[in-house]
Amino acid sequence: MAVWFVLHSVYICIDGLHNDKGYADAEIVLGNEVYADSSVSLPLKGRLDKALELYVNKRVKKIFVSGGRGDNGVGEGSAMKMYLIKKNAPAIDIIADNNGKNTYFTAKDFIAISDSMHFTSAIVVTSFYHITRSKYIIRKLGFNHVKGVSSDALFASKDWIGVTREFFAFYKYLIYY
C-alpha cells in the first residue's frame, strides 16, 4: 500500500506540475476559500491570476469559474468573477457557477454549459496536486479534450497535505462517481 501511495503521489506531482501547452475554447477554474467580504484566499488568487494570464494570452476564449458556498454563504463562483472583473477581464467572457461544491459538481456543471456553448476543448486551472483528479472526472463525464495548467509555480512543503488528500480523493472518485 505504501509503495502504491508513493507511486501514485509521484504521478500526481509530475502530471500536475507539467503544464499543458496549447489553446482551448474555455478554462475551468476550480474554487477555493472565499471570505465573508467576497475576497479570495491566496490559493484561489493564484488560480485566478493564472486563469487571467491564459485569457490575456488568448489561450482561451471563456473563463468558467466554479465553486460552492462556504460557511459564510458567499458563492465562490461570484466572488471569483468579481475578482477577475476587477482585474479588467470582460464580464461577458466569465461564466460563474456557485453550485460546484466539489470537483464532480463543477465538472457536471461545466459539461452542461459546454454543450450549450459548443465548447470542444478546455483547460482546467487548479493546484498542481488537483489536476489529475480534475481531468479524470471531466473526462469520465464525457468531455475528452481537457488539459491541465497548475496555478502553482513551485512545490511548497504544505503541499504534501494536498497530495495525500488527493490520493484518497482520486480513488473515491474512481469508485463513487
Question: d(Cα 138, Cα 107) in Å, to the nearest integer?
Answer: 5
Distance in angstroms between the alpha carbons of the first and the last residue of the chain: 23
What type of residue is 14? I
Specify the CATH number for the domain of residue 50: 3.40.50.620
**Structure confidence by residue, pLDDT tens digits, 38-55:** 999 988 999 999 999 999
Provide the domain limits for residue 69.
2-152+159-176
Q: What is the DSSP string of 39-58?
A: -B-HHHHHHHHHHHHHHHTT
Overall domain count for the chain: 1
- 156 pLDDT more than 90: no
**Structure confidence by residue, pLDDT tens digits, 12-36:** 999 998 888 899 999 999 999 999 9
For residues 128 and 88, the answer to whether their CB atoms sit within 8 Å is: no
The set of residues, in sequence order, having a beta carbon less than 8 Å from that of 155 and lying 6+ positions away, is: 13, 17, 128
Task: Share the mean pLDDT of the chain.
Answer: 93
- 73 pLDDT more than 90: no
**Structure confidence by residue, pLDDT tens digits, 103-127:** 999 999 999 999 999 999 999 999 9
